[in-house]
Amino acid sequence: MTTSEKTDLAVWRYGIISALLHRNEEDGTLEDDLLRLAARSFRTLDGRVVSYSPETLRKWLYRYRNGGLPALADATRKNIGSHESVPQEIENRLFELREVLTL
């Protein structure tokens, strides 16, 4: 995902949660507002229609409050292309077995 796409996604998510940021607590609880917002459908940047759970919306709200707009963009995974969860010895053995089976 490019920087521009990440920014677009963050701004789009902000548009969804902005009502939660400027809510009047006298009008109801945050939970009620999250449920109301979760009942709505939204059109994504690529045109799909989606809805989100109250928990997802809550996470976006807290991410924004703690990190601002950049926190609403998806972070790049740190372990892409790595096999840290598989011990090196087992990984080596799996490659050896694959080679034997393809002969």
Residue 57 falls within a domain, yes or no? yes
Q: Which tokens sit at 96?
A: 């050896």
**pLDDT: is 86 or 31 the higher one?**
31
Q: How far apart are CA 20 and CA 62, in angstroms?
A: 11
Q: Determine the Cα angle at 78 with ends 71 and 76, to 5°.
A: 40
Residue 85 falls within a domain, yes or no? no
Enter the pTM of the model. 0.70
| pLDDT score of 100 more than 90 | no
Residue 102 falls within a domain, yes or no? no
**pLDDT: is 80 or 45 the higher one?**
45
**Number of structural domains found in the chain:** 1
Residues spanned by the domain of 55: 3-76
Q: Please count the residues of the chain.
A: 103
Q: Determine the Cα angle at 49 with ends 44 and 50, to 5°.
A: 85
Q: Which tokens sit at 93?
A: 């053995």
Mean pLDDT of 13-19: 94
| pLDDT score of 92 more than 90 | no
